[in-house]
Amino acid sequence: MRKVKILLAVCLLLAVCMVSAAGCGLLGENKKTQEVPEPASNTIVAGEVKEAEQPAGREQRLALAASLRQLMEKDSAKYQVYVFFPQWDEPLVMGKDPQSSASIIKIFILGTAYELAEQGQLDLNQQVTVHPLDMVGGAGVINGQSGAPVYTVRKLLELMITESDNTATNVLMDAIGLERIHHFMKEHGFHDSILQRKMMDFEALRAGKDNFTTAADAGRFFRLLREHKLVGEAADSEMISILFGQTDTECFPQALPQARIAHKTGELSGVYHDAGIVYDANDSYVLCIMSTDSRGRGNTLSTMRNMAKTVDLAFHQ
């Protein structure tokens, strides 16, 4: 009888151990399962698209880039393009290497002056005397004046943009200072733009000092200006008003006669640029086209006009 009881106790002990082992194994499987990460999902959850979501305007940018590339290939000139539509989350940028800015560099002088005025460091109504030694050739109207004419800083800025006046530009560079202009460009993210010489300074040019920018930097300037995020609401509005007065209308205005365009052009031998804000009806967008190595001014202007028309058509689709 005693042996039977011992045998029963051993069997009972073995049964308890088996149940415990099974329980431990089950817990171990549960723990192991929890440590395995769930696979990534591209499905729609609660109305939100996960990783499959595409940036706004991506397909339109790709299609527009293809159309613009076809137009570029018909001309021997090299092009850079910046386009920004307000419904996009990022711009279309084609080409990135810094190139000779021509008079496009003047927009950064304009921005610097208005920022300094906003900060109380420059009086736009201050009068400046333009001496005969300040006068240089090329674009502009001041060098045709006799004696030593006097202008306000605001008027010099207007002439620098609307007439692309080189004398006004050089006088403003002296009044503002290169260091301040460079600071403005750096602080606002125009990292591929640099002002190294005055207008019509061919000696500096021969020494390898030129002024450079990119379509991306010029486009960024006009995008910030359009959104009134460059200097401030009032200052940006005044700069836009000045840019509406651009007298060179050979490119964007000729291509888009129905639009109002606040823009700046630039031209040197083999170089032609146009950049600005295109206002059409109740909306607007930013467009910048820069050309270099042009072998025929007429052909390049024709190509740029066709590019502007293509961009405008895409904007209205």
- Helix (H) or strand (E) holding 14, with range, is helix 2-35
- pLDDT tens digits, one per residue of 219-252: 999 999 999 999 999 999 999 999 999 999 999 9
- pLDDT tens digits, one per residue of 85-120: 999 999 999 999 999 999 999 999 999 999 999 999
CB 215 within 8 A of CB 288: yes
- Rounded to whole angstroms, the Cα distance separating 219 from 39 reads 41
Identify which of 157, 161, 159 has the alpha carbon closest to the alpha carbon of residue 144: 159
Lowest mean pLDDT among 12-21, 28-37, 95-104: 28-37
CB 128 within 8 A of CB 142: no
- How buried is 16 (Cβ within 10 angstroms: 0-12 exposed, 13-18 middle, 19+ buried)? exposed
pLDDT interval class at 56 (50, 70, 90) = confident
- pLDDT tens digits, one per residue of 277-315: 999 988 999 999 999 999 899 999 999 999 999 999 999
pLDDT interval class at 54 (50, 70, 90) = low
**Chain-centre distance of CA 282, in angstroms?**
22
pLDDT of 281 reads 83
* Amino acid type, 16: V
